[in-house]
Chain A
């Protein structure tokens, strides 16, 4: 096989499955270490001390009760949304429309918060808002799923574009029918009756998402529907041979996913922002994809990962305040960290085989 010999590439990839758990965790922690080292470069470029900067990030997110509360407030939607997209990703249905599903949930929750606040008492109002947001988010997600099931459209593009429609709707509401003072582009703040109560001085959304984490774990691992999702994720054809209605399962799963995202939208407007604006999802729909992947779709790992990202985000704010480091530098550090953590999964799953001079043409036996 002369031609094979000539074309042996410099580096080849091979799937591996023989790594010990200890080794896997060494690689994971090593990648974080490398990320922290690489993160020093942008900090040094701004003329600051990297160690002091890292210290400020941690101090700014965790050193005081109010900072911890703020950090948790950032983590709540991240966790909720990661839980929402987990079943889709398990099914290999690339739902990147959580941003829009959150937004639509927020819109419907806001509708009741703004116009029904004097007609319904506090707790029932919140329940109505929650249900309305879940239905709205679910339907927003169902649309691309329906087209995928019916005509096999590309769900990635479809869900992505649904985001911009949702954001556009809010922009219209903000400057149009729901605007407060004319020309101000601001929707009025919610009445107290439309705000989520606080438990331990953080909106009770944290309880909702923690309950959801448990429920999602059970749903994915212990139920028939969870099993169906896993089978479709492994092989659509297998699912078909087994008699599953793949289209129906897709639509059902997307509805559930969108409903949870919608609920997250409700938690954001009613528990944190107290008003609606077009940046309501604030990138959560995308960041939570990273949370879901890093957690390998494990509900409980998502709790920790969403906290880590929340710490970085909150800490970045303090970094700007205390050290006058631009917030975008902190975004770069977050990016480096995520990149390293995700690529460590690559090295856990694959090995690199380098071509050596003395074994030209010979296949490495591993």
Chain B
């Protein structure tokens, strides 16, 4: 009886094969002005943060390309893990006829690289990561934007608010403490909160900062708890490098202020959130896809900043921002664009009481410690010059790490 059952199931399987072979195949579009692009996302648009920002970029690029007569067929896959499911998603997108495959999370890259050699004719892009420089392949690419520029300006907005509170006597100069909710003690995060802090200190000299790492890129509860704890430790301004909006609502519930990341958070915390900064991925998607369609190379490592619109500020919350903030933003944006302000100007910060004179940018031998390309020259640390992914990992004076999460 059991043998019969086995035979039956095998028969069912074989019939499945026959059935399947008759079904329609999907291939790359034949029209040369139509391109099929895969977008693999770690979350979905409901995060109202990281992945939502990519989806916005996708839709924006689609419109811009349409104006140029290029049609994009997107294959978007959501909620992919930084694990072997990412490799399978890349295979899947490649088999479904995608000509360009964009991986939106840092941790996707090693799994993407397992697949790329099987599809030499397909272009693979890993956003926010950095392996393409040394992997010796033509079809792998990286991309990021100078988000530290936007962070710096968000810091300026926060600093103006703190200075206003000091001037009005609401807080003493020593009470101008920023609380920062970070995901991990990771270069991208360290670079982000340092530039934010330097922006704030450029307009509010007495400011200090406390950083709390939650040990997750996206954990709404932990992010909220960290923000509440920071507020309870006397922080009057909260900012974040994590995927959710809960730090904003936590700040509002404690009656302190907030600046955000990835998305405008003034809607959910109108009394707390001053402004956010985000990467406009539409600029990159447009350039990369356009280059592909025109038969040009997609840049091996793409990185642009505010001057090109790749980093943007969201709407300023005029109701609660300090007077004159909008003008100051415009001024600093201009200064960053024309180079008169260097975000990591080494004369503006110290490390253990001394000026920073040396830091390497790149890891070339794969031991995860930077070992080449001097990043400090001409009086500044040059972030995102040697590769798009941030490499600033220095702990500067004035920022207190409450914990670390590697």
Please, which residues of chain B bring their CB within 8 A of the CB of A317?
88-89, 92
**CB of A287 closer than 8 Å to a CB of B:** no
Please, which residues of chain B bring their CB within 8 A of the CB of A280?
83
**CB of B134 closer than 8 Å to a CB of A:** no
Please name the residue on chain B nearest to A298 by beta carbon: B2
Please name the residue on chain A nearest to B23 by beta carbon: A59
Kindly state the separation between the CA atoms of A199 and B114 in the bound complex, as whole angstroms: 18
Please, which residues of chain B bring their CB within 8 A of the CB of A305?
9
Whether B92 and A301, one on each chain, are in contact in the complex, defined by CB atoms closer than 8 angstroms, is no
**CB of B21 closer than 8 Å to a CB of A:** yes
Q: Interface readout for A279-310 with B: 1 if CB under 8 Å, 0 if not?
A: 11010000000000000001011001101100
Please name the residue on chain A nearest to B17 by beta carbon: A62
Kindly state the separation between the CA atoms of A337 and B190 in the bound complex, as whole angstroms: 48
Whether A58 and B20, one on each chain, are in contact in the complex, defined by CB atoms closer than 8 angstroms, is yes
Q: Which of A21, A66, A188, A321 has the most CB of B within 10 A?
A: A321
Kindly state the separation between the CA atoms of A311 and B12 in the bound complex, as whole angstroms: 12
Identify which of A179, A273, A322, A327 contacts B84 (C-beta below 8 A): A273
Kindly state the separation between the CA atoms of A70 and B94 in the bound complex, as whole angstroms: 14
Identify which of B5, B23, B187, B393 contacts A63 (C-beta below 8 A): B23
Please, which residues of chain A bring their CB within 8 A of the CB of B113?
189
Kindly state the separation between the CA atoms of A117 and B91 in the bound complex, as whole angstroms: 28
List residues of B (13-50) whose CB comes within 8 Å of A's CBs. Answer: 13, 16-17, 19-21, 23-26
Identify which of A63, A189, A308 contacts B9 (C-beta below 8 A): A308
Identify which of B13, B19, B83, B114 contacts A277 (C-beta below 8 A): B83
Check A318/B107 contact, CB under 8 A, given A182-B393, A277-B82, A311-B16: no
Whether A301 and B6, one on each chain, are in contact in the complex, defined by CB atoms closer than 8 angstroms, is yes
List residues of A (177-210) whose CB comes within 8 Å of B's CBs. Answer: 179-186, 188-189
Q: Interface readout for A126-168 with B: 1 if CB under 8 Å, 0 if not?
A: 0000000000000000000000000000000000000000000
Kindly state the separation between the CA atoms of A317 and B85 in the bound complex, as whole angstroms: 10
Whether A304 and B9, one on each chain, are in contact in the complex, defined by CB atoms closer than 8 angstroms, is yes
**CB of B184 closer than 8 Å to a CB of A:** yes
Whether B82 and A186, one on each chain, are in contact in the complex, defined by CB atoms closer than 8 angstroms, is yes
Check A58/B84 contact, CB under 8 A, given A25-B8, A183-B184: no
Check A279/B83 contact, CB under 8 A, given A183-B189, A184-B107, A318-B92: yes
**CB of A320 closer than 8 Å to a CB of B:** yes
Kindly state the separation between the CA atoms of A298 and B5 in the bound complex, as whole angstroms: 11
Please name the residue on chain A nearest to B185 by beta carbon: A183
Please name the residue on chain A nearest to B389 by beta carbon: A181
**CB of A67 closer than 8 Å to a CB of B:** yes
**CB of B95 closer than 8 Å to a CB of A:** yes
Whether B16 and A70, one on each chain, are in contact in the complex, defined by CB atoms closer than 8 angstroms, is no
**CB of A27 closer than 8 Å to a CB of B:** no
**CB of B75 closer than 8 Å to a CB of A:** yes
Q: Interface readout for A54-81 with B: 1 if CB under 8 Å, 0 if not?
A: 0110110111101100100000000000
Whether A320 and B10, one on each chain, are in contact in the complex, defined by CB atoms closer than 8 angstroms, is no
Please name the residue on chain A nearest to B81 by beta carbon: A279
Identify which of A58, A181, A321 contacts B23 (C-beta below 8 A): A58
Whether B6 and A179, one on each chain, are in contact in the complex, defined by CB atoms closer than 8 angstroms, is no
Please, which residues of chain B bring their CB within 8 A of the CB of A275?
110
**CB of A121 closer than 8 Å to a CB of B:** no
Q: Interface readout for A302-334 with B: 1 if CB under 8 Å, 0 if not?
A: 001101100100000110111010110000000
Q: Interface readout for B171-182 with A: 1 if CB under 8 Å, 0 if not?
A: 000000000000
Kindly state the separation between the CA atoms of A58 and B13 in the bound complex, as whole angstroms: 10
**CB of B96 closer than 8 Å to a CB of A:** yes
Please name the residue on chain A nearest to B130 by beta carbon: A181
Whether A58 and B1, one on each chain, are in contact in the complex, defined by CB atoms closer than 8 angstroms, is no
Check A62/B20 contact, CB under 8 A, given A277-B82, A298-B2, A301-B5: yes
**CB of B405 closer than 8 Å to a CB of A:** yes
Whether A183 and B187, one on each chain, are in contact in the complex, defined by CB atoms closer than 8 angstroms, is yes
Please, which residues of chain A bring their CB within 8 A of the CB of B377?
none
Please name the residue on chain A nearest to B190 by beta carbon: A183
Smallest Cβ distance from A363 to chain B, in angstroms?
Answer: 32
Whether B88 and A63, one on each chain, are in contact in the complex, defined by CB atoms closer than 8 angstroms, is no
Q: Which of B4, B106, B368 has the most CB of A within 10 A?
A: B368
Please, which residues of chain A bring their CB within 8 A of the CB of B24?
59
Please name the residue on chain A nearest to B188 by beta carbon: A183
Please, which residues of chain B bring their CB within 8 A of the CB of A282?
83
**CB of B233 closer than 8 Å to a CB of A:** no
Please, which residues of chain A bring their CB within 8 A of the CB of B328?
none
Whether A179 and B26, one on each chain, are in contact in the complex, defined by CB atoms closer than 8 angstroms, is no
List residues of B (88-107) whose CB comes within 8 Å of A's CBs. Answer: 88-89, 91-93, 95-96, 106-107
**CB of A272 closer than 8 Å to a CB of B:** yes
Please name the residue on chain B nearest to A180 by beta carbon: B368
Q: Interface readout for A1-38 with B: 1 if CB under 8 Å, 0 if not?
A: 00000000000000000000100010000000000000
Kindly state the separation between the CA atoms of A181 and B190 in the bound complex, as whole angstroms: 14
Identify which of B13, B89, B92, B186 contacts A182 (C-beta below 8 A): B186
- B residues bordering A, Cβ < 8 Å? 1-2, 4-6, 8-10, 13, 16-17, 19-21, 23-26, 75-79, 81-84, 88-89, 91-93, 95-96, 106-107, 110, 113-114, 184-187, 189, 215, 363, 368, 393, 405-406
Q: List 22 A-B residue pairs with CB atoms under 8 Å apart, sorted by A's residue number.
A: A25-B4, A58-B23, A59-B20, A59-B24, A62-B16, A70-B91, A181-B368, A182-B187, A186-B107, A186-B110, A188-B110, A189-B114, A272-B84, A273-B84, A275-B110, A298-B2, A300-B6, A301-B5, A317-B89, A318-B92, A321-B92, A322-B96
CB-based closest 6 A-B pairs: A183-B186, A304-B9, A63-B20, A59-B23, A183-B184, A273-B84
